[in-house]
């Protein structure tokens, strides 16, 4: 336990799991000079009493992920933050679509697992502005004003700044009124409205695209 306490900087025995730093079985095994299988067996069968309740020792172990500041963060903390985000963002959407609570919980759990995989971490950390800056070709950027999945103002401002930084001289950025994520005319732009819309693609968006192309032929 002495080694565990040393490793769990600001951990559950001292403060809270929120800032628990990553700790893996291999580190402890090397520290105390024992085989990793022995440490694993003990961690899976022994409990410790703490100010926050009785905890299975295994629950203190987690992998680490390096954030964009170069700081290694425990996956325990990341899971808590993601769970909160998914409950705030995904749960209301799925509930509005009459998805059963049990299936919502399973879906959120699957999203958590997927989000911690290397490709998902790359995707979430990827900044498209880095590539947009390099574009030296004509650019047309369209967004619907009622797009609730990709906010038009925030994203178009980012695209505009990246193109200006890259000194692109030929670009057009347009926010199309009353169009949703799929460039359909809509009332709210919310996901649960998609299935009620018969229109495939707004003529307004089609005209904007065709006019832009024809000017460059």
pLDDT tens by residue, 106-126: 999 888 888 777 777 777 778
Both tokens of 44, joined, read 């899976």
Q: Based on the domain organization, do 26 and 96 belong to the same domain?
A: no
How far is the CA of 37 from the CAs of 23, 32, 41, in angstroms?
16, 13, 6
The number of folded domains in the chain is 3
> What pTM was estimated for this model as a whole?
0.56
Confidence check: pLDDT of 60 > 80? no
| Mean pLDDT, the chain, whole residue set | 80
Which structural domain, as residue segments, surrounds residue 52?
2-62
Rounded (to 5) percent helix, strand, coil in the chain = 50, 15, 35
pLDDT above 60 (res 4): no
Last residue of a domain, one of 62, 81, 96: 62
What integer is the mean pLDDT of 130-157?
95
In this prediction, residue 64 carries a pLDDT of 53
Q: Stretch 147-166: mean pLDDT, rounded?
A: 94
Using the predicted structure, report yes or no on whether residue 25 has a pLDDT greater than 70: no
Q: Cα–Cα distance between 26 and 16 in angstroms, integer? A: 23
Q: Do 134 and 195 share a structural domain? A: yes
**CA–CA distance, 192 with 15 (Å, rounded to integer):** 42
Q: Identify the domain boundary among 62, 81, 112.
A: 62
Residue 25 near residue 40, CB atoms below 8 Å: yes
Please indicate, yes or no, whether residues 105 and 76 belong to a single structural domain of this protein: yes
For residue 10, is pLDDT > 80?
no
Interval 162-208: pLDDT, tens: 999 999 999 999 999 999 999 999 999 998 899 999 999 999 999 99
- Rounded Cα gap, residues 64 and 78, in angstroms: 9
Confidence band of 7 (pLDDT split at 50, 70, 90)? very low
């Amino acid at each position: 336990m002495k080694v565990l306490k040393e490793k769990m900087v600001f951990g559950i025995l001292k403060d809270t799991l929120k800032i628990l730093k990553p700790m893996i079985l291999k580190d402890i095994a090397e520290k105390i000079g024992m085989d990793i299988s022995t440490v694993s067996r003990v961690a899976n069968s022994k409990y410790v009493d703490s100010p926050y309740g009785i905890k299975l020792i295994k629950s203190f172990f987690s992998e680490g992920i390096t954030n964009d500041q170069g700081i290694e963060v425990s996956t325990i903390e990341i899971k808590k933050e993601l769970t909160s985000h998914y409950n705030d963002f995904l749960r209301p959407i799925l509930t509005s679509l009459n998805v059963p609570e049990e299936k919502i919980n399973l879906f959120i759990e699957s999203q958590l697992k997927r989000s911690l995989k290397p490709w998902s971490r790359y995707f979430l950390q990827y900044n498209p502005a880095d590539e947009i800056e390099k574009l030296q070709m004509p650019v047309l950027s369209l967004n619907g004003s009622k797009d609730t999945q990709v906010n038009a103002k925030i994203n178009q401002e980012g695209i505009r700044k990246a193109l200006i930084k890259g000194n692109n001289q030929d670009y057009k950025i347009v926010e199309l009124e009353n169009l949703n994520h799929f460039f359909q005319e809509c009332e709210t732009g919310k996901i649960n409205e998609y299935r009620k819309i018969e229109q495939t693609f707004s003529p307004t968006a089609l005209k904007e695209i065709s006019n832009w192309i024809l000017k460059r032929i």
